[in-house]
Amino acid sequence: MEDSAAIAGLLWDTWLPVNVKGLISSALPGGQRDGRRLAVWLAGAHDIGKATPAFACQVDQLADRMRDAGLEMRSAKALGPDRRIAPHGLAGQALLGEWLRERHGWAVKQTGQFTVVVGGHHGVPPEPGQIAALHKHGHLLRSPGASRDVWRRVQGELLDACAEEYRVQDRLDAWRDVRLPQTAQVLLTSLVIVADWIASNADLFPYFPQDAARSGAERVAAAWRGLDLPAPWSPDEPVEDAQQLIASRFGLPEGAKARPVQEAAVELARSMGEPGLMVIEAPMGEGKTEAALAVAEVFAARSGAGGAFFALPTMATGNAMFPRLLDWIARLPSARGAQQSVLLAHSKAALNEDFAELMRDSGQRIVAVDLDAPQAPRWRPRDTKHAARTELVAHAWLRGRKKAMLSSFVAGTIDQLLFAGLKSRHLAMRHLAVVGKVVVIDEAHAYDTYMSVYLDRVLAWLGAYRVPVVILSATLPARRRRELVEAYSGAEIQASDVQPAFEEVAEVTAYPLLTAVGHGRPPVVRSPDASGRGTDVVLERIEDDVDALVGRLAHELEGGGCALVVRNTVKRVLETAKALRRMFGDEHVTVAHSCFIDVDRAAKDADLLKRFGPPGKADGRPAGPHIVVASQVAEQSLDVDFDLLVTDLCPVDLLLQRMGRLHRHMRGAGQQDRPERLRRARCLVTGADWDADVPVPVRGSVAVYGAYTLLRSATALLPHFEQGEARPVRLPDDISPLVQAAYADDADCPDGWADAMADARDRYEQHRADQAERAAVFRLGKVGKAGRPLFGWVAAGVGDADDSLAGRAQVRDSRESLEVVVVQRRDDGTLVTVPWLAPDRRGNPLGGLDLPLDQVPTRQAARAAASCGLRLPIQFSYADVMERAIAELEELYVPAWQVKESQWLSGQLILALDEDCQTHLAGFSLSYSESDGLEVTRA
């Protein structure tokens, strides 16, 4: 009890961000002084439920000592399954509530908002039914008979001692009429959980200390030194003007200026009464990421947030963001010379070289502590770019599924944020992790109805917590903009006099656009200028015929140039690439899609950036004709630039994202460094039968996006296709009008399309309603009224939520799919890592390493193999095929790898390719190549 209370005090004093302490203390009459006392007291009392027969009976030897002192109890066997009715958290909640009522005159309805912290300290607040059941089994709290009063006296003595030791005796009367917000209840619970975890660490707090004579204070001080938790980020508000701020934080070259959107975002952040939600809508390439980080610095200083979380749609975009986040942290004056905890948050983060290097170099380990040891030495980065500025630490204690997000700076997938809206065990910890940060949500248009159900609920809680949020999008429908700001602002606006202002948010047509709102306050909009550079894109429909496409590209690229062909399915990517190679040759065609092993996917992204990135940064842009055939992976967060674009018909917001890869940068005056034929930006749209009375998208596109959004996209683009009267799509001017036209509820329909459109819309609305209904099953409830205890907060939840394929499927509307580790089986039966893997950063070979079947592979070989994870395509997501595939994959079960020492391979499904990189699985033929990835055909 002393250890937990002491740690809670240290966490409060040195680790909790200022805004979290303010939220906990907001309803208490003594402010933060009361907040600290309350947190320390609850941490000290949180295990009082262990002083009960239901808990104490578990170890006979120890129970006998208690019986000798008059605390009679039946054996664990005699109590039987009834013991499950009184887990020690729930028992503690009951005992503390009784103590408050009997000793201090509290009413029943007043106690729950405080005692639920004790009841929920193992991750799940009790449900009303559990509380009622415990009341019917009083013998689990105190044995009946003569010893009942002894139990009562001991429990009372412990709680009296806690109240006196942690100085709350004189505060309990003042707290009796407090209505503690549910947000404060969540944060107090999470703080007690963290204190409990630290105090329960036997390395930091040995059960049998060598020097028992040392005081508790000395033990705690030694443990705290050994833990060495980095303090939260604590920035001062930047004093530079917006131009200077952007230039200093992002290293703009001399003479370069911040974009108008960036300047306006910083100025708007400074003008807000208190930080809230800001939505930044601006064209691709306008520097939205830099604007968001600059706003985050202002918001953090004003709100007391202790870090930043950048949420992105995919692992690939998270990996791309992570080094940019590190560079930004290194330039922050507030981080200079301080230790800052950082995290890449997705299931394969350990395979990212930037993060893996941080973990290796952050050499701190949690070990048994020496009471007389000096301050633990800290790692100083060898990278001179960071060395003089900050210490970036992947902290040893802040690792693992439930603690990692507590790091101060995080780049990760949107799933990590959506998990905060999923009823799951230890949800309070996920809330603490995001509440202490400024949250940035990128690519907001990329999330479907299912994900949006969770995102909106998370935004409602973030608004209640007063967490600053920045949302980024190039192509956000106006209706979705309104939904986001309403979710954050809170339900009370629905019946308030500010409601008309929210309706106006959905009517604003300006672009770029900034929308800012505080919790319960009306929104404010700003419409800064674009950067001044625009692109006119000529649209043309072409027939969906591969041979015709090959001939067209041969004509267009006759004088050289780089073309991007975006297909909506991997199957179409591979079919197109094969046909193009027959005409252009293998060396002139590159393939990129989602069905590559992880290490190859990362290499593909790096190669695309290297060859097709911005002038001055890219190296080796092909001079002759070159074609990249890609799936949707080319759509997001890749700063690549092509001379010509061919794309399948897709939702208009995504089509515009694809156009953002066309003439993205200026190449010479008037684009004169591009081939003469390609100096005017052109986008050829295929993937549909354009000659039909109503365009008929190809089946694969309909399966991915649905017919309605595709037809709405075609409708919005129609004026740009019409012969004779067609005009180019002007970027960025036409981005918002096109998106709003495609997603408007009352959009016009071309003549002759009405029946097809109505039928497609019915299916679309039914699908959206189904998504929303299924997502709501495990979605967290709304923020309850102040004073209402969190009883049943995560009732009927999913249990533990984690960043696995199954876990991500809980917050994404995706089929649970199989993920395998790809290795190669030689003709002699031995297994090796695939042979084409490049050496690591230190020059160590990774390809062709032995993976012995009778022992744990070397760490290098095991990690190399794990980097070859592959998510099998949708064919393997159907129940009967999945079961057959799992059964066949489990035939290669290696017992020697299923041990703790084999952390990279333990529990993984292994897909062994033959020497020709082929195999069969569940009735399909699988073929893999470094150039084309996985190809699946019916066997």
Does one domain contain both 82 and 101? yes
pLDDT at 745 over 50: yes
Angstrom distance (rounded) from CA 85 to CA 91: 9
Does one domain contain both 281 and 174? no
Most confidently modeled of 33-42, 339-348, 350-359, 417-426?
33-42
pLDDT at 364 over 60: no
Name 52's Cβ contacts closer than 8 Å, sequence gap at least 6: 86, 88, 91, 95, 140, 141, 142, 151, 155
pLDDT one-digit tens code per residue, 408-455: 999 999 999 999 999 999 999 999 999 999 999 999 988 888 899 999
Structure tokens at 503: 């309706």
Cβ–Cβ < 8 Å for 778, 795: no
Angstrom distance (rounded) from CA 225 to CA 372: 10
Does one domain contain both 539 and 515? no
- Comparing 520 with 376, the larger pLDDT belongs to 520
pLDDT one-digit tens code per residue, 55-113: 999 999 999 999 999 999 999 999 999 999 999 999 999 999 999 999 999 999 999 99
Name 244's Cβ contacts closer than 8 Å, sequence gap at least 6: none
Residue 561, domain extent: 535-731
Does one domain contain both 171 and 310? no
Does one domain contain both 590 and 517? no
| 279-284 average pLDDT score | 94
Report the SS3 class of residue 621: coil
User: Crossing angle for the helix pair 570-584 and 546-556, nearest 10 degrees?
Assistant: 50
* Number of domains the chain contains: 4
Angstrom distance (rounded) from CA 743 to CA 475: 11
| 900-920 average pLDDT score | 92
Structure tokens at 623: 């001079």
- List beta partners, residue 537: 729
Does one domain contain both 480 and 570? no
> Which amino acid is located at 351 in the chain?
L
The residue among 508, 526, 544 that closes a domain is 526
| 325-331 average pLDDT score | 92
CA dihedral 421, 399, 305, 118 (to 10 degrees): 60
Cβ–Cβ < 8 Å for 356, 859: no
Does one domain contain both 117 and 266? no
| 490-496 average pLDDT score | 60
Inside any domain, residue 674: yes
What pLDDT is attached to residue 211? 61
Inside any domain, residue 580: yes
Q: For the domain that residue 559 is a member of, what is the CATH number? A: 3.40.50.300
Report the SS3 class of residue 535: strand
Cβ–Cβ < 8 Å for 440, 310: yes
pLDDT one-digit tens code per residue, 836-881: 999 988 889 999 999 999 999 999 999 999 999 999 998 998 889 9
What pLDDT is attached to residue 362? 60
pLDDT at 400 over 70: no
pLDDT at 370 over 60: no
- Comparing 878 with 470, the larger pLDDT belongs to 470
pLDDT one-digit tens code per residue, 517-571: 987 788 999 999 888 778 899 999 999 999 999 999 999 999 999 999 999 999 9
What pLDDT is attached to residue 815? 64
pLDDT at 811 over 90: no
What pLDDT is attached to residue 381? 36
Average pLDDT score, the chain = 90
Inside any domain, residue 519: yes
Angstrom distance (rounded) from CA 743 to CA 747: 8
What pLDDT is attached to residue 498? 66
Structure tokens at 411: 């780049």
Inside any domain, residue 210: no
- Residue 302 CB neighbours (<10 A): 18
Angstrom distance (rounded) from CA 332 to CA 338: 11
What pLDDT is attached to residue 613? 92
Angstrom distance (rounded) from CA 414 to CA 310: 8
Inside any domain, residue 374: no
Omega prior to 283 cis, within 30 of 0: no
Q: Which three-class secondary structure string do you get for 404-470? A: HHHCCEEEEEHHHHHHHHECCCCHHHHHHHHHCCEEEECCHHHCCHHHHHHHHHHHHHHHHHCCCEE
Does one domain contain both 273 and 307? yes
Q: Please, which pLDDT band fits residue 339 given cuts at 50, 70 and 90?
A: confident
| 451-470 average pLDDT score | 96
Does one domain contain both 508 and 629? no
Cβ–Cβ < 8 Å for 298, 269: yes
CA dihedral 648, 652, 656, 662 (to 10 degrees): 20
Inside any domain, residue 339: yes
Name 77's Cβ contacts closer than 8 Å, sequence gap at least 6: none
Does one domain contain both 140 and 158? yes
Q: Write the DSSP symbol of residue 920.
A: E
Inside any domain, residue 769: no
Does one domain contain both 619 and 641? yes
pLDDT at 363 over 60: no
What pLDDT is attached to residue 722? 72
β-pairing verdict for 688-689 and 562-566: unpaired
What pLDDT is attached to residue 521? 80
- Smallest CA-to-CA distance from 482 within 512, 450, 454, 459 is with 459
Name 704's Cβ contacts closer than 8 Å, sequence gap at least 6: 568, 569
The pair phi, psi for residue 55, each rounded to 5°, is -95, -45
Q: Please, which pLDDT band fits residue 393 given cuts at 50, 70 and 90?
A: low
Q: Please, which pLDDT band fits residue 496 given cuts at 50, 70 and 90?
A: low
Percent of the chain with pLDDT over 90: 73
What pLDDT is attached to residue 388? 35
Inside any domain, residue 364: no
Does one domain contain both 923 and 896? yes
Q: For the domain that residue 81 is a member of, what is the CATH number? A: 1.10.3210.30
CA dihedral 146, 148, 153, 159 (to 10 degrees): 170
The residue among 731, 764, 787 that closes a domain is 731
The pair phi, psi for residue 913, each rounded to 5°, is -90, 150
What pLDDT is attached to residue 361? 67
Angstrom distance (rounded) from CA 348 to CA 866: 9
pLDDT at 147 over 80: yes
- Residue 668 CB neighbours (<10 A): 10
pLDDT at 597 over 50: yes
pLDDT at 384 over 60: no
The residue among 731, 766, 801 that closes a domain is 731
What pLDDT is attached to residue 366? 47
pLDDT one-digit tens code per residue, 763-794: 999 999 998 998 888 999 999 999 999 999 99
Angstrom distance (rounded) from CA 851 to CA 844: 16
Name 792's Cβ contacts closer than 8 Å, sequence gap at least 6: 125, 126, 127, 128
